[in-house]
Structure 1
Amino acid sequence: MRRITLQGDELDGFDAPDAASYIKLIFPEPGQAEPDRPLPDTPRPKAMRTYTPQAVRTGDREVDVDFVLHGVGPASTWAAQAVVGQVIYLMGPGPGYKQAVEPGPLWLIGDDSALPAFETILSRQPEASTVHVMVEVVDAAESRALPSPAKVTTEWLPRGGDNTQAGTALEAALRASTPPPADARIYLACEAGAMRRLRLLLINDLGVGKARIVGRGYWKLETANHPDHDYGDDA
């Protein structure tokens, strides 16, 4: 994981008021020093990816973004070599997670791609709330503190480097643990296929009501530019 601060005059007034909101980043394609500026009625850039802003400092015109360095790809390749002065383009923000007003614990269930979203959600929790976090990561060394005003318990679940095993550690942990309480609210965000399997597990086996789950397919195996609006409602 590498955190990079994006800064520029064009970020004047930029804000991301919702937790887990998203932005689009456009990266250079092979042979480009910087990407083409996005314009209306032009084709969707091939090297465009979706991220959650980890922090926004509106007055300083700065946005922090966490990148998972997972090998070859326009985003991870750029992030691994990024230096001050390079140019990428940012679009957004899009809507995020709306905090429910009803009482009850919050469960955050996802893989390492969801960590920036989880961190923004945790930072907005009231002190009286309780949150249980389950994060599937490649290696236990990725575990870190997740600050929050709330009372937080965290499970770090290593799965290894084989992405075809996405969701297996989360599924095993959910099957082995006490089910979420009936009044729990669940934010479920990970690989799209795994998200659907886990959503069905929560509903059919663990007795969680559909309306209490917010699903997000943040990425999909062997798919570039997976759509942003994958909520798993078809599962």
Structure 2
Amino acid sequence: MSIAQTRALLLTPQPDEMLAAVEHHLRQEHETHLETGKDGSRFVDKDGFCVTFQTEEKGLQISLRAPHEGMLVLLRDQVVQHVHELSPEAASDLRWEGFDCALRDYPSNFRIGTLIARSRPVTGLLRLQLQVDDIPALGDGLHLKVMLPSQPSRAPAWPRLGANGGLQWPKGKDALHVRYLTIRATDPKAGLVWLDVVDHGDGLMSTWAATAKVGSTIGLMGPTGTPVIPQVERVFLAADQTAMPVVARMIETLPPQVRGTVVAECDSAEEARSYFNSDKLEIVALDRASFRSAILEQATEICRVEKPQYAFFAGELLNARELRAFFRGDLALGNRHHSSIGYWREHE
């Protein structure tokens, strides 16, 4: 599937000040740092996605690139939301090349998923098998934005596209409960998608995953994210249960010569080895009671014995910050050779 791209001019009489505000917002609120291009543009380019900002006489030119149209829909919406946080009026006036403002319909990457089966691959995770129409049109990706009514008794009202390319979400009684879940596997010919969900025991999404009847439906949008690992010989991959499906997908993309270690939040090494099913990586399990307090020390011990050329962590936000500092500082890994992502924040 070909690369999708678009651009829009953010009208402002002070483009330099707007660019500075955007950069400060991304750095402070989202821990995203912009690089400088040879032409003076500012950009972030990671995992197949690229957002470029270039000042012009009439405003700030924003250019987007994504692996395919489905991912571009979500990337465009993210940019619109970032601009809205700085200037609601400027965000409302955005118009994107190649986007028909008259459509205002469901996003092209929106689908309805129908639950047909569930299983439990390891303690603490539920695996949902969904029937989904026209999977090939969605393209490849790691995550789906999954949604259901915040008031379960109400019929769902799904998001639509606004004239500025952003998503218009239902509000009030029709508001949706939205979470990102990782695609564990797909069967495009059969129209099947498997999603792994942490069984929290509470929360709307976890409750739906555990109790919804076969035939129940849920909204899906995406996918987004790609399991991009540079060509290296040794990796370090770590994840709490929310990110175990991502690490499993990443392992499946590794060339056979790659070696390294996986540290996962799992109650036993046997369960972890069964879940990841890899004979080329060492699998280390930290139980759910100790993972958060022990992961940094465990990573330090492993990586100092044999330094990886690529390191990845995903899980709780504070853990992600600690591991990011370790990857950048102690291991001195460059931006394209490490990633540490906060999937959730404690007490939220």
Quick check: TM above 0.5? Answer: yes
Whole-angstrom CA distance in 2 between matches of 1:127 and 1:185: 16
> Is 1:217 aligned to 2:342, yes or no?
yes
Aligned equivalents of 1:56, 1:180: Cα separation in 2: 37
CA pair 32-144 structure 1, distance change in 2 beyond 3 A: farther
Give yes or no for contact 1:28–1:34 (8 Å, CA) kept in 2: yes
1:186 to 2:311 alignment: yes
Q: Which residue type is aligned with residue 39 of structure 1?
A: R
Q: Is the aligned partner of 1:202 residue 2:332?
A: no
Q: Distance in 2 between matches of 1:81 and 1:197?
A: 36
Matched to 1:220, the amino acid is R
Alignment of 1:6-85 (within 5 A): 6-9=130-133, 11-18=134-141, 21-32=142-153, 34-41=155-162, 42-43=168-169, 45-85=175-215
**Distance of aligned partners of 1:95 and 1:85 in 2 relative to their CA distance in 1, 3 Å threshold:** same
Q: Give, in angstroms, the shift of residue 129 of structure 1.
A: 1.3
Structure with a larger share of its residues in helix: 2
Going from structure 1 to structure 2, the CA distance change for 1:157 and 1:166 (only over 3 Å counts) comes to closer
**Distance in structure 1 (CA, Å) of the matches to 2:255 and 2:300:** 29
Give the length in aligned residue pairs.
Answer: 212
Q: Deviations 1:73-112 (Å, cap 9, x if unpaired)? A: 11101001022110101000112221313x3211111211
Q: TM-score, normalised by structure 2?
A: 0.56
Which consecutive unaligned segments of at least 5 residues does structure 1 have? 224-235
Q: Distance in 1 between matches of 2:140 and 2:305?
A: 28
Task: State the distance in 1 between where 2:291 and 2:308 align.
Answer: 27
Alpha-carbon distance between aligned partners in 1 of 2:277 and 2:205, rounded to the nearest angstrom: 26
Root-mean-square deviation (CA), in Å?
2.4
CA contact (8 A) 1:25 1:51 kept: yes
1:108–1:187: 8 Å Cα contact kept in structure 2? yes
From 221, 239, 247, give the equivalent of 1:118: 247
Q: Residue 8 and residue 178 in structure 1: after superposition, are their counterparts in 2 closer, same or farther (change >3 A)?
A: closer
Per the alignment, in what secondary structure is the counterpart of residue 80 of structure 1?
A: helix
Look up the SS of the partner of 2:161 in the other structure: coil
Contact 1:22 1:51 in 2 (8 A): yes
8 Å CA contact 1:16–1:56 kept in 2: the answer is no
Deviations 1:137-158 (A, max 9, x none): 4x3385342124x611010011
Shift of 1:46: 3.7
> Which has a greater percent of strand?
2
1:134 aligns to 2:257 (yes or no): no
Do the aligned partners of 2:145 and 2:180 also contact (CA within 8 Å) in 1?
Answer: yes
Distance 1:198 1:178 in 2: 12
1:35 positional shift: 2.9
Deviates more, 1:127-136 or 1:195-204: 195-204
1 CA distance for matches of 2:282 and 2:304? 15
Closer, same or farther: CA 125–142 of 1 in aligned 2, 3 Å: same
Moved more, 206-215 or 91-100: 206-215
Per chain length, whose mean CA-contact separation is higher, i.e. which structure has more relative contact order (CA < 8 Å, sep 6+)?
1
User: What runs of 5+ residues in structure 2 fail to find an aligned partner?
Assistant: 1-124, 163-167
